[in-house]
Amino acid sequence: MFDKLEDLLVRYEELMSELAEPGVADDAARFKRLMKEQSDLAPIVETYSEYKKSKQDIEDSLEMLEAESDDEMREMLKEELSDAKENVAKLEDKLKILLLPKDPNDDKNVIVEIRAGAGGDEAALFAAEIYRMYVHYAEGRGWKVETMEADEIGIGGMKSVTFMITGQGAYSVMKYESGVHRVQRVPETESGGRIHTSTISVAVMPEAEEVDVVIDEKDIRIDVMRASGNGGQCVNTTDSAVRLTHYPTGIVIYSQTEKSQLQNKAKAFALLRAKLYDIEQQKAHDAEAELRKSQIGTGDRSEKIRTYNFPQGRVTDHRIGLTLYKLDKVMNGDLQEIIDACIAADQAAKLVKMQ
């Protein structure tokens, strides 16, 4: 591990020299690549520098202890030695995590697709609530949320909704939300007061650039039409809505959230690219079945990952055995404790596999 850290330290110094060269910013692509590598290495280099300083503190304290005869000074040096040893152990653990192989998609924006499952209207209502939960969470982190398509029902629910979250590292956080979410509560329409169980599915896909997915024009059919809202109310008097049909996969994308046909077409292609890229990612995961089993929440989309129990006010994440009694806060976007726990469990599983 330490040989690798020394190599990374040398590489970091080389990067800083290259970035200091006159005219480095003239080549935008190279400058962007260098800045990205520098920002990726910076946390490792800073932690390793702190680690080396703590190791030096241990050596200094041991030398001073040998030479010191005053009891009070010896006690002080022993305390400093103990603190330095504790810090070294913590920094070693942190360095192991920082050196874990990074998911190449972690820095990407995400496209999230929520679909109502079992439970009829109650599932659609819950889908809309989970959508609002993610919007609140994203906005709390300063991320931008843009709805791409939504199939709403008249009572405030959503059969499906697709939206993009734009923000640094969005995929690294949101990827743990993929899977089946279950709600247990008494629906407003239930006169007998019985608790119903409904489900929705959440798919989190990294945004795919055009270089990630090449779409052959011959594989696409593009239809344009007028957008319409609930009850047949005309939303637009021009043919601004766009429907894409991808023949090889049978994927159909419909986009009508923008007033411009060009904007709707761009959104539809962005969603299609993400879905095609996601299919390739899932194939790769299936080919590495053992790796997928060792990861938290980035594998099987049919996996039931979380239960929201309204009568008891609790949320349980089944993958990591975490239960929190703060359902109201979670539904209002307070997801960080759950996500942090998923990240920690994922890192722990990967560390065990590397040993």
Is residue 311 domain-shared with residue 249, that is, in the same domain? yes
Is residue 228 helix, strand or coil?
strand
**Residues pairing with 222 in the sheet:** 244
Is residue 308 domain-shared with residue 192, that is, in the same domain? yes
Is residue 152 domain-shared with residue 93, that is, in the same domain? no
Is 97 in contact with 44 (CB distance < 8 Å)? no
**Predicted confidence band of residue 230 (pLDDT cuts 50, 70, 90):** very low
Query: Is 103 part of a structural domain of the chain?
Result: no
pLDDT at 302 over 70: no
Is residue 85 domain-shared with residue 130, that is, in the same domain? no
Task: Give mean pLDDT, residues 191-199.
Answer: 83
**Residue where one domain finishes, among candidates 98, 130, 155:** 98
340: domain CATH number is: 3.30.70.1660
Domain that holds residue 249: 110-349
**Residue where one domain finishes, among candidates 64, 98, 132:** 98
Is residue 183 domain-shared with residue 293, that is, in the same domain? yes
Domain count within the chain? 2
Residue 26 and residue 32: Cα distance in Å, rounded? 11
Is residue 79 domain-shared with residue 117, that is, in the same domain? no
Query: Is 354 part of a structural domain of the chain?
Result: no
pLDDT at 297 over 70: no
Is residue 66 domain-shared with residue 121, that is, in the same domain? no
Is residue 152 domain-shared with residue 264, that is, in the same domain? yes
Orientation of helix 28-67 relative to helix 2-19, angle to 10°: 130
Residue 93 and residue 4: Cα distance in Å, rounded? 15
Is residue 152 domain-shared with residue 298, that is, in the same domain? yes
Is residue 19 domain-shared with residue 152, that is, in the same domain? no
Is residue 222 domain-shared with residue 339, that is, in the same domain? yes
pTM of model > 0.95 = no
Is residue 162 domain-shared with residue 244, that is, in the same domain? yes
Task: Give mean pLDDT, residues 154-174.
Answer: 91
Task: Give mean pLDDT, residues 91-100.
Answer: 86
| Strands 144-152 vs 110-116: parallel, antiparallel or unpaired | unpaired
Identity of the amino acid at 43: P
**Predicted confidence band of residue 337 (pLDDT cuts 50, 70, 90):** very high
Query: Is 355 part of a structural domain of the chain?
Result: no
**Residue where one domain finishes, among candidates 49, 73, 98:** 98
Is 228 in contact with 235 (CB distance < 8 Å)? yes
20: domain CATH number is: 1.20.58
Task: Give mean pLDDT, residues 306-324.
Answer: 94
